[in-house]
Amino acid sequence: MKHRGHSYRNSVAGRSLETHAGIGGTSFVAHMRCSRCPCVGTRNLRAIMPPEHIDRKFLQAGWSLDPHTCPDCLKQASQERKTMSAKPSPTAMRAQAQMFTMLQTHFDTDKGAFAKEWSDDRVATETGLAKALVVEFRQTCFGELKEPDEVRALRSDISALETLARETNASFAAEIASLRTRLAAISSRWGA
């Protein structure tokens, strides 16, 4: 982008110029303000130069111009771009394709069940992928695991009995504790 006049003298687009009158003559400091952060870059000039030449000095120092951006902000922006376009490695892609094929072959979407001897664990082991990834992928693309009614009924019976056992245990413990307290009270009366 061309600016009429001297973009540094006229303080255009982040640029500015400082003039120092010294014993050895006048010296100049060009400033470039980052458009994204408070950073200000400086370049010392022995003589006043055309703005294009000063621009080149900032470019060489790692700045980007129009929009004027400091090296740190550029680094950060390129890091963000890299993160966003992060692709899985060829190995990971092959493993995912393998997982897809296995699920397609060994998982019955209607029944919500794996074929005999197949499971999320086995797919994870054979592809080398994390089980959590396999489960997530299977749920999204092929559906939830549905247990047969008989299995579901047995599970629910077991869990009900477990709860009952826990509660019964707790009430026995409470009863025993109260008997111990009574025993202690009676024993102390006998001076034991």
In angstroms, what is the minimal distance from the CB of 33 to Zn ion? 9
Q: What is the spatial distance between Cα 24 and Cα 4, in angstroms, rounded to a whole number?
A: 31
**C-beta of 71 vs 143, nearer to Zn ion:** 71
**C-beta of 68 vs 138, nearer to Zn ion:** 68
**Helices (runs of H) and strands (runs of E) counted in the chain:** 6, 5
In angstroms, what is the minimal distance from the CB of 28 to Zn ion? 23
In angstroms, what is the minimal distance from the CB of 68 to Zn ion? 9
Q: Which stretch binds Zn ion (CB under 5 A): 57-65, 72-80, 97-105, 128-136?
A: 72-80
Q: Element (H or E) spanning 79, and its range?
A: helix 71-84
Site string for Zn ion, 11-40 (x = CB under 5 A): -----------------------x-xx-x-
In angstroms, what is the minimal distance from the CB of 112 to Zn ion? 54
Q: What is the spatial distance between Cα 114 and Cα 122, in angstroms, rounded to a whole number?
A: 10
**C-beta of 64 vs 109, nearer to Zn ion:** 64
**C-beta of 39 vs 48, nearer to Zn ion:** 39
For residues 33 and 17, the answer to whether their CB atoms sit within 8 Å is no
Q: What is the spatial distance between Cα 66 and Cα 8, in angstroms, rounded to a whole number?
A: 13
Q: What is the spatial distance between Cα 83 and Cα 46, in angstroms, rounded to a whole number?
A: 42
Q: Element (H or E) spanning 56, and its range?
A: helix 51-60
**C-beta of 70 vs 95, nearer to Zn ion:** 70
Of residues 121, 146, 125, 152, the one with CA closest to residue 135: 121
Interaction residues for Zn ion, span 93-122 (CB under 5 A): none
Q: Which of 17, 54, 73, 123 binds Zn ion (CB under 5 A)?
A: 73
Task: Note the residues at the interface with Zn ion (CB under 5 A).
Answer: 34, 36-37, 39, 70, 73
